[in-house]
Structure 1
Amino acid sequence: MKRVVSALAVAAVLFVQPASAQSILRDAETEALFAEMSNPLIKAAGLSTRDVRVVLINDESINAFVAGGQTVYVHSGTLQNADTANEVQGVIAHEIGHITGGHVPLGDRMFKGATGISLLTMVLGLAAIAAGGGAAGAGIMAAGQQAAMGSYLAFSRQQEASTDAAGAKFLNAAGISGRGYISFFAKLQQLEYRYGITRKMSFMLDHPVSSERIANLNDTLKSAPSWGKPSDPGLEERFRRVKAKLAGYVNKPDRTLQAYPETDKSIYARYARAYAWHKAGYPDKANAEADALVAARPNDPYFLEVKGQILLESGRPREALAPLRVAAEGSRNNPLISTTLGHALIATEDRTNYPEAVRVLRTAVGRDDQNPFAWYQLGTVYELSGDTARAALATAERASMTGDARTAVASARYAMANIPANSADWVRAQDIAMTSADAAADKKKR
């Protein structure tokens, strides 16, 4: 599990922080689970599984959102508070409803309209204050802000209700039980009770109250043939693994060890403790838990990955190579696992390992070019191998991805000057130089 980029929405309007400004967690096993959970829903919605992604955000609040395009962002707190994979499928189905409904651009337009109301009343309010009517001016501004907010909230509640229905439709069409959808709303309902939120306060909310949502969905979901269908046991087992792994990674070690005490010898507990001990600085204990996982399932690529990661990050990169090589092979060269293998090969400081590192990392970025750490590692091994031109190209790729247009342009131009003209790498450098120069120019104008 890697941190690549370093609330409950029932009490007030949720102004979502852009995902790029939050901490995105990349993990091969979690992303495979998300794909397995979401693909039937994506197809049921008439979308392409190649275009829709589910991304994990490191945030302990219960939330999921769509911020544009076809990417669903799920907070880690949603997974931690869900009891089943089926509940998370309900959340994903709902967010896919936002995608098919075009609610992000619609929401943008509505929000701009609400902001316009606020700005207009602000001007009127300031004019009244300037004329000596301070109390009246303040009242006009307050009323205007309330009207703008009320307009936006009513629009948001309408969108959420239609999206709830769309989520139910996709679950039924995919043959997935809606039990998890209902039970997750029941969890939100309990939180509403805890915070004293009632139906009388619904005008203050951007979502309908959960009791209303459950009532609206019950007939549609319970009448479907899939209602009584049990969730896939294999999917649920993988969910429990990911949930435990996530807890070990994002929570403080003492919290993880309290939830998964050493007396618990289950796979899930060992998975959580492996990360917790590693995070707490006890490499021997972490490695012992990883060894127990591998002993239980010797060919599991994700258990081998965590063993290799612990060894690598504990300063033992040579020992990490064997489990990471097997993990990469067993996962069909998953790009995230391959990146860790490439990192370990470089960390050995053995020049004979560099050609393998280049090959592994080029394959990784070829299959997933949205991983800045992989580009950094590829640039590092090129530099160590004396290929400064391709090191610069890798730097340009990473800088372009992270919004550093100036570095991207300079690095791409250096690569173009030192790579054979019209080769594939030269053409790519030219593309980056042109697009990044345009981005830098636009930024300067602003």
Structure 2
Amino acid sequence: MRILRQAVAALMLWALFVVPAKAAGLIRDADVEYALTQLAAPVLRAAGVPSNLRVLVIDDPSLNAFVADNQHIFLNSGLIMKLGSAEALQYVIAHEAAHISNGHLARRAGNARAARTAAGLGMVLAAAAAASGAPSVATGIAAGSQSAALRQFLAHTRAEESSADATALRSLLRAGIDPRAALEVHDIFRGQEALSATRQDPYMRSHPLTRDRMRAAQGFVAGNAGQTRRDPGAAYWFDRAQGKLSAFLRAPSWTLRRANSSLSPDIALMREAVAHHRSSNLKKSLAAIDRALAMRPKDALYLELKGQILLESRQFGPAVQVYAAAAKMAPNEALILGGLGRAQLAAGDPGAALAVLERARARDFRDPRILRDLAVAYAKTGQTGMASLVTAERYALQGRLEDARLHATRAEAQLPRGSGPWRRAEDVLSATRHLR
């Protein structure tokens, strides 16, 4: 019971981290997340933080990045698309990881145990809202929370930022990454200090930039010139992540005009496939992704994109086949398994979908789409109690606590008393009562 309650508490805490003030939400994409994992890996090793720390993308065009716990780094899509090199993105990741390794989160929170209380959860939500660029929303959320702890959590002192800068630069050097990337990042925000607070990017408000920080970075770079070399693999994954994001977030015409500027021909074809798909041209979209797959036939992530194109074009049978092939190549990738289950549901096979979606949920309980589809699969196979339970967990993940309580109550009434699923429903009810 204690383990289950801790799991639900973690679920609720995650929900509070990722409910952005603008309701933008997370961008969950297997390709983008894999690329970020590849870029982050050498930096995290050099920084001495847990290797399973995840880098996730918030759908927000502003320039921002932040950490809210010691397991996740959040990057706004706008910042990823603005940066000009893999090394610049790795510096941002290194800087945020430094706040974790240097113990800044613990000091800002005051007491780590506060995060397990309702007030602590409210504090973290307010912090995430403020970091996402909505201080007025953060103010409203903070009402009733520990305001002193909130102020401490949001406080970015010059000492902390200088410390994080120095640690990030050393991490880059240990990882063999050119520390000049720090200058590129700082330069993006040059001039922001002259703007009014309402016109500044959220990163400026949560990561104050000073001339002293720029001079310190320049001094470090001057003293360590020529000790690194460019990593073609990092450049490839940066271009792929940036290309995938921009293809889905910018107009198709914009993408088609710029696709050929991609670092690799397969990335150009992937971008073209997405642009044609968003223009409802299935024939051209499939032709482009098939050409990319001809160049990288064992790339499960390109297969996953082809499955998505087919599924969203209502080609359900072919989508199942393609997703199944991708899942065979990457059997532990939750987002690919989720896509396969979604396609199986659309093709009218809820039984097969149920098994696949449970595998996906076991690997990543944080994706509301997986939980939504899993609830549908349970409902279509006549398991209404389980459908209510998974729906309750999805609403808890999204911060919809009243809806979570309603569906958890329904699940509790239908599930065998004392069973594992019944205890999960009880834990949702317990967590939502404390968060009222």
Question: What interval of TM-score do these two structures reach, taking the shorter chain for normalisation?
Answer: 0.7 to 0.9
Report if aligned partners of 2:19, 2:25 keep a CA contact under 8 Å in 1. no
The residue that corresponds to 1:292 in the other structure is: 291
Report if aligned partners of 2:311, 2:319 keep a CA contact under 8 Å in 1. yes
Report if aligned partners of 1:82, 1:88 keep a CA contact under 8 Å in 2. yes
Q: Distance in 1 between matches of 2:235 and 2:262?
A: 23
| C-alpha displacement of 1:370 | 0.6
Report if aligned partners of 1:63, 1:78 keep a CA contact under 8 Å in 2. yes
The residue that corresponds to 1:430 in the other structure is: 426
Query: 1:200-244: per-residue Cα shift (whole Å, max 9, x none)?
Result: xxxx986334x643431234345459x532233222212212211
Query: 1:46-96: per-residue Cα shift (whole Å, max 9, x none)?
Result: 32223x321112223333222455432212222222232121101111112
Report if aligned partners of 2:54, 2:72 keep a CA contact under 8 Å in 1. yes
Q: TM-score, normalised by structure 1?
A: 0.74
The residue that corresponds to 1:36 in the other structure is: 38
Tell me whether 1:406 sits opposite 2:402 in the alignment.
yes
Change over 3 Å in CA distance of 1:375–1:241 after alignment to 2? same
The residue that corresponds to 2:270 in the other structure is: 271
Question: For 2:233, what is the secondary structure of its paired residue?
Answer: helix
| C-alpha displacement of 1:194 | 11
Q: Distance in 2 between matches of 1:269 and 1:208?
A: 35
Q: Distance in 2 between matches of 1:105 and 1:308?
A: 43
Query: 1:407-426: per-residue Cα shift (whole Å, max 9, x none)?
Result: 32232233233333333222
The residue that corresponds to 1:130 in the other structure is: none
The residue that corresponds to 1:318 in the other structure is: 317
Q: How many residues align?
A: 372
Report if aligned partners of 1:256, 1:272 keep a CA contact under 8 Å in 2. yes
In structure 2, stretches of 5+ residues that fail to align are 1-13, 111-122, 124-153, 197-203
Q: Distance in 2 between matches of 1:265 and 1:62?
A: 26
| C-alpha displacement of 1:254 | 1.9
The residue that corresponds to 2:10 in the other structure is: none
Which amino acid letter does the alignment assign opposite residue 378 of structure 2? Y
Report if aligned partners of 1:241, 1:267 keep a CA contact under 8 Å in 2. no
Q: Distance in 2 between matches of 1:194 and 1:207?
A: 12
| C-alpha displacement of 1:318 | 0.8
Change over 3 Å in CA distance of 1:412–1:90 after alignment to 2? same
Q: Distance in 2 between matches of 1:263 and 1:88?
A: 17
Report if aligned partners of 1:274, 1:285 keep a CA contact under 8 Å in 2. yes
Please point out which of 413, 419, 422 is paired with 2:415: 419
The residue that corresponds to 1:137 in the other structure is: none
The residue that corresponds to 1:96 in the other structure is: 97
Change over 3 Å in CA distance of 1:371–1:192 after alignment to 2? closer
Query: 1:329-375: per-residue Cα shift (whole Å, max 9, x none)?
Result: 212331011111100000012xxx32221111001011100111101
Q: Distance in 2 between matches of 1:265 and 1:160?
A: 36
Q: Distance in 1 between matches of 2:46 and 2:272?
A: 38
Report if aligned partners of 2:177, 2:228 keep a CA contact under 8 Å in 1. yes
Change over 3 Å in CA distance of 1:40–1:297 after alignment to 2? closer
| C-alpha displacement of 1:294 | 1.9
| C-alpha displacement of 1:394 | 1.1
Q: Distance in 2 between matches of 1:411 and 1:154?
A: 38
Name the % identity. 32
| C-alpha displacement of 1:20 | 7.8
Report if aligned partners of 2:156, 2:208 keep a CA contact under 8 Å in 1. no
Q: Distance in 2 between matches of 1:69 and 1:347?
A: 38
Which amino acid letter does the alignment assign opposite residue 213 of structure 1? R
The residue that corresponds to 1:25 in the other structure is: 27
The residue that corresponds to 2:4 in the other structure is: none
Question: For 1:228, what is the secondary structure of its paired residue?
Answer: coil
In structure 1, stretches of 5+ residues that fail to align are 6-15, 113-152, 197-203
Question: Structure 2 matches for 1:205-244, cutoff 5 A?
Answer: 207-209=208-210, 212-224=212-224, 227-244=226-243
The residue that corresponds to 2:351 in the other structure is: 355
The residue that corresponds to 1:127 in the other structure is: none
Which amino acid letter does the alignment assign opposite residue 405 of structure 2? V
Change over 3 Å in CA distance of 1:340–1:263 after alignment to 2? closer
Tell me whether 1:184 sits opposite 2:182 in the alignment.
no
The residue that corresponds to 1:164 in the other structure is: 165
Question: For 2:55, what is the secondary structure of its paired residue?
Answer: strand
Question: Structure 2 matches for 1:135-154, cutoff 5 A?
Answer: none
Report if aligned partners of 1:260, 1:273 keep a CA contact under 8 Å in 2. yes
| C-alpha displacement of 1:155 | 6.3
Question: For 1:87, what is the secondary structure of its paired residue?
Answer: helix
Q: Distance in 2 between matches of 1:306 and 1:217?
A: 40
Q: Distance in 2 between matches of 1:41 and 1:20?
A: 30
Q: Distance in 2 between matches of 1:431 and 1:101?
A: 34
Which amino acid letter does the alignment assign opposite residue 32 of structure 1? Y
Which amino acid letter does the alignment assign opposite residue 276 of structure 1? A
RMSD: 3.4
Which amino acid letter does the alignment assign opposite residue 167 of structure 2? A
| C-alpha displacement of 1:188 | 3.8
The residue that corresponds to 2:303 in the other structure is: 304
Between the two structures, name the one with larger relative contact order (CA 8 Å, sep ≥ 6).
2
Q: Which structure is larger by alpha-carbon Rg, 1 or 2?
A: 1
Q: Distance in 2 between matches of 1:411 and 1:381?
A: 16
Q: TM-score, normalised by structure 2?
A: 0.76
Q: Distance in 2 between matches of 1:175 and 1:222?
A: 16
Q: Distance in 2 between matches of 1:316 and 1:185?
A: 47
| C-alpha displacement of 1:263 | 12
